[in-house]
Structure formats: C-alpha cells, structure tokens
Amino acid sequence: MDAPLDDRALNRALLARQHLLSRSTAGVEQVVTDLVGLQAQNPWSPFVGLWSRVEDFRTGTLDALLLDRRLVRIAVMRSTIHLVTAEDAAVLATLVRPVLHRELRANPQRRAAADALDLDLLARLAAEHITAEPRPTTRLGAHLAATWPDVDPQHLAAFARALLPLVQVPPRGLWRGSAAPTLTTLDAWVPDAVAAAGDLTDPDVRRRAEERLVLRYLAAYGPASVADVQAWSALRGLRAVVDRVRDRLVELPATPATASGRPRLLLDLPDAPRPDPDVPAPVRYLADYDDVWLSHDRRDRVIDDAHRRRLQTPNGRTPAAVLVDGRVRATWAVARTTAGTRVRATPTVTPLEPLTASERRDVAAEGDAFVRFVADDADDHEVRLATT
C-alpha cells in the first residue's frame, strides 16, 4: 500500500485541482466546469475566485458569459447560490432538489405554513408569474400572497425557490450590476440546456448523472470520503452511488487514522493530480464562502481548526481569506476612502498567526495586484498588513 497521504499532501492535491497552485490558461468557462461551479452568495465572490484561478482574468469576460446565458447563478450545492455553466445547472438543479425541499420545513414557522399550503398550486402560480417576465423576489412573494394572504410573502417566495429551479438573472451578478435578486425559471432562461440534460426522472438517466457528479467532485476536491461528497452537496445516501463507481476509483490511505485507530481510506480518480507535498503554494486571495474550504466533512485541509473556530460567526458567515503556503492564515477586507475627487482603496490583511518577513512580502505583492483588480475604479491603492 502507498505511504499515507498527510495533511500537506491532501492540501497540495486540493490546490492543484482548484487551480490555486498555478492559474489556469483554459479560460473562465472551463474553470467553472472543472470546479463544478463557484460560490456566488455575494455577487462579487466569483469574480474574486476566478481572478485567483484564471490567468489574465477580466471582469468583462464573466459579464459576457452571464449575459450570453452560458453561465448562470442558481441555488445548487448546499442550497446556496453558485455560478455554474448552463449545462451543469440543468443537471444539478434536479439532483439537489431534495436539499432545497428540506428548506420547506427548515424552521417551525415555515413548516406550519408549508403543511397548510397546496404546494403544487404554489409552484404552478410562481412558475407562470416569473416565466412571463423575470421578477424580483419581493414581487414574487407579493404575487403569491394574493392567493395566500395569511402567509408571510417571504415564506411564499422561499417555498417557490425550494420547489422550482430559479435563476438569478442579470444585472444581478454583473461586475458593475446592482439589482435585487430577479428570478425566472431555469427552463425559461436556458431551454436548450434543460432539453440537453435529458429526462432526469428516468432512473437510468438519473443514475448516470449521480455517478458523474461523484466523479467530478473527486476531480475538483479529492482525494475524499463519502462524507466529504455529502458535505459538499448536502445530498444524503451517496454511499450507494460511490459503490457503483468504486471500480473506477482507487483507495488511498491517509493520516490521521480514524478514531478507532483503523487506517483512514480516501477515494480518488486514478490519474488525478497529487503533487509532491513540498511543491510551493503561492499566496492567493479568496472570496468569502469559497468552496475550497467548505467542501469537505473535515475542513482542516486548508485551515487549522483553531482558526476556523475563531472565524466562526453566529450566522455562519465565512470571511474573505488569504492562503499563505496553501492554508488560510489571514483574512482581508477592502475599505474605500475619498479625499477631494480621489478614491483610495485599501485592503487590510489581518494575519491569524505570525507570518515571516518573506510571507508578508508575498502577501503584500499579491495584495497590490489584487486590489487593483477588485477596486479597478479607484484612483489610489494601498495594501495594509495588520499585526498579529
């Protein structure tokens, strides 16, 4: 059996597959495909994620792909908004529907309301309303409240989101776009992609789609366990899917061992990259909620447990982070100030632990390039490194 993969080996494998060891030259659409999407809860997040992963990334490239409907913003993995290709949206939106259905009863108030509603009628009325014309979430809720006046319109809109694959359409999600989430159905926005996905109610079609999902997860995040795939997708019962593709995978020992002392075995694609653990990892600026540190059952591949606990907030918000030597060792936030007619953009980097002089120089150098990207409309730019 091969020597066990330690934390550093797993870290480098993850960074390589995430295009965080070296930026990809394959282009935005290919990288979004490789990663099975990027977190996009905040509209600016995928721009930051792509800047750190794609050589010579330009904001206009992503804007154009959104306007051309080649990429879409939709709730998929973990019921959160992701930027995915239209083709992936058509498959993922169906596969993860059980996850969104669980939101129907996510809290006692919603559960009581859902139990009292004709959900089939709600889905039909919502689809008719937003297929005719994309509508803001508030207008969708108000429209449904005409039929159910005693139910909170926000609950009604949330139920529609859980029951239907809904796309957030531009200008939401554009670099200089500013708009509340405006929704339409996926089949209204990208009908060709939905048709090409096939009939996912057919057991054989769905089975193949589930198997591809597991294999693509491993390509983007492996080596990994069944629990990891489930943490990333929030789907349950994936062990049976993994078992169906096990003959296409390899088992790799990893440290530390299980709590019972037995070897920990992870699954992977035979030819997936597993770089030397000593390969250098450059500084990378990540967006908040970046999937690179949210997509495993154990999140210690890129962040120490102590740092993760320190950064946890009651509402589950994940800060924008800086990878130093491949791990989350600092956070960043950009402030803008105005003096006369000039605007200055200043990212403040706050280390979570002491950084060496060389690491601080690398963080500042990457930060200088980063702030000129993320605040490209500012006149002046300055990187500040806080003390630990």
- The model's pLDDT over 125-167, given as tens digits with 9 standing for 90+, comes to 999 999 989 999 999 999 999 999 999 999 999 999 999 999 9
- My answer on whether 65 and 155 are in the same domain is yes
Domain boundary among 147, 166, 189: 189
* Alpha-carbon span 33 to 146, nearest angstrom: 40
- Does the residue 12 lie in any domain? no
- Does the residue 337 lie in any domain? yes
In one-letter notation, the amino acid at residue 189 is: W
Could you tell me if 286 and 52 are in contact, meaning their C-beta atoms sit under 8 angstroms apart?
yes
For residue range 351-375, list pLDDT tens digits in order: 999 999 999 999 999 999 999 999 9
- My answer on whether 58 and 178 are in the same domain is yes
- My answer on whether 50 and 170 are in the same domain is yes
Domain boundary among 189, 216, 234: 189
pLDDT above 70 covers a percentage of the chain that reads: 98
Domain that holds residue 376: 284-385
- Does the residue 4 lie in any domain? no
Domains: count for the chain: 3
Q: Is the link from the previous residue into 171 a cis peptide, with omega within 30 of 0?
A: yes
- My answer on whether 89 and 156 are in the same domain is yes
pTM greater than 0.85? yes
Q: Which residues of 67-94 are buried (b: 16+ CB within 10 A; e: fewer)?
A: eebbbbbbbbbbbbbbbbbbbbbbbbbb
In one-letter notation, the amino acid at residue 176 is: R
* Higher local confidence (pLDDT), 64 or 179: 64
- My answer on whether 136 and 160 are in the same domain is yes
Indicate if the pLDDT at residue 316 is higher than 70: no
- My answer on whether 169 and 306 are in the same domain is no
- My answer on whether 120 and 176 are in the same domain is yes
In one-letter notation, the amino acid at residue 240 is: A
- My answer on whether 225 and 311 are in the same domain is no
Token match 């918000």: residue? Answer: 317
- My answer on whether 218 and 315 are in the same domain is no
What is the pairing mode between strands 38-39 and 71-75? unpaired
Instruction: Give the pLDDT mean for 71-93.
Output: 96
- Does the residue 15 lie in any domain? no
Q: In angstroms, what CA-CA distances link 121 with 127, 128, 159, 300?
A: 10, 11, 11, 45
- Does the residue 135 lie in any domain? yes
The encoded tokens of residue 306 equal: 């102590």
- My answer on whether 64 and 177 are in the same domain is yes
- Does the residue 92 lie in any domain? yes
pLDDT (0 to 100) of residue 380: 87
- Does the residue 155 lie in any domain? yes
Q: In angstroms, what CA-CA distances link 63 with 25, 138, 161, 171?
A: 18, 25, 24, 9
Could you tell me if 370 and 51 are in contact, meaning their C-beta atoms sit under 8 angstroms apart?
yes
Domain boundary among 167, 189, 211: 189
pLDDT (0 to 100) of residue 180: 86
- My answer on whether 31 and 100 are in the same domain is yes
- My answer on whether 216 and 241 are in the same domain is yes
Could you tell me if 43 and 177 are in contact, meaning their C-beta atoms sit under 8 angstroms apart?
yes
